[in-house]
Amino acid sequence: MAYGGEFSDHAGEFEKIIAAYYEDIYKFCFRKIRDPAEAQDLTQDTFIRFMDAAGTYVDIEKPKALLYTIARNLCLNWLKRARPVSLDEPENGIAPVADDFSDESIRKVYLSIAVSALPDDQQEILILRYGQGLKIGEIAEILGLSRFQVMYQIRSALDRLRKNMRKED
């Protein structure tokens, strides 16, 4: 898909890309930063930067990889500036009630806690693979790694996750 030139010349193509990837990019940003309003802002910034980048490149064949790369960099920059969130403080001042959780919900909470205990790079690769459903090649392109490195990192992250979850049992 060639985008070179002015935005107005390719507005229809951009609208299709936004429609196709907006929700996925938002979910990715939200999983990275856990703040809905900031995730929304970062998602919008991602598409603005994508449109700017598309104007400077003659040919962008893989908008999905470029979008995730931009979103990832924006999230990493945001996380560097953000204050750490305490897990002891309930969000919005509302503490969850134990009776509201099913067994499946409890498993998801434990999994989420176990994933958050992983190093950031392992969290990210699991989010891209399982949270966003990206293929190994797409992840490799986004992270600037070889397919082998991505497969190795996924395997390492899953091994560490299993080990951490066994400790919790």
Distant-in-sequence, close-in-space partners of 140: CB < 8 Å, separation ≥ 6: 146, 147, 149, 150
Q: Residue 42 — pLDDT band, cuts 50, 70, 90?
A: very high
The predicted structure's pLDDT at residue 57: 60
For 1-84, which CATH class?
Answer: mainly alpha
Asked if pLDDT for residue 140 goes beyond 70, the answer is: yes
- pLDDT for 95-107, tens place per residue? 444 445 566 666 7
In the chain, the largest separation of any two C-alpha atoms, in whole Å, equals 58
Average pLDDT over residues 69-77: 91
Q: Report residue 150 as tokens.
A: 């991505």
The predicted structure's pLDDT at residue 102: 61
Q: Which of these ranges, 62-71, 83-92, 108-117, has the smallest mean pLDDT?
A: 83-92
On average, the pLDDT of the chain sits at 79
Residue 115 to residue 126: CA distance in whole angstroms: 8
The dihedral of CA 44, 48, 51, 57: what is its sign? Answer: negative
Average pLDDT over residues 38-51: 91
The predicted structure's pLDDT at residue 88: 45
CB atoms closer than 10 angstroms to residue 130: 13
Answer yes or no: are the C-beta atoms of 163 and 114 closer than 8 Å: no
Q: Which CATH fold would you assign to the domain 101-169?
A: Arc Repressor Mutant, subunit A (1.10.10)
Answer yes or no: are the C-beta atoms of 46 and 91 closer than 8 Å: no
Q: DSSP readout, 30-73?
A: HHHH--HHHHHHHHHHHHHHHHHHHHH-S--S-HHHHHHHHHHH
| Ranges of each domain in the chain | 1-84, 101-169
- Better pLDDT: 103 or 89: 103
The predicted structure's pLDDT at residue 150: 93
Asked if pLDDT for residue 86 goes beyond 70, the answer is: no
Asked if pLDDT for residue 122 goes beyond 70, the answer is: yes
Residue 34 to residue 56: CA distance in whole angstroms: 32
Answer yes or no: are the C-beta atoms of 61 and 1 closer than 8 Å: yes
- Better pLDDT: 97 or 62: 62
The predicted structure's pLDDT at residue 111: 75
Residue 154 to residue 61: CA distance in whole angstroms: 26
The predicted structure's pLDDT at residue 120: 87
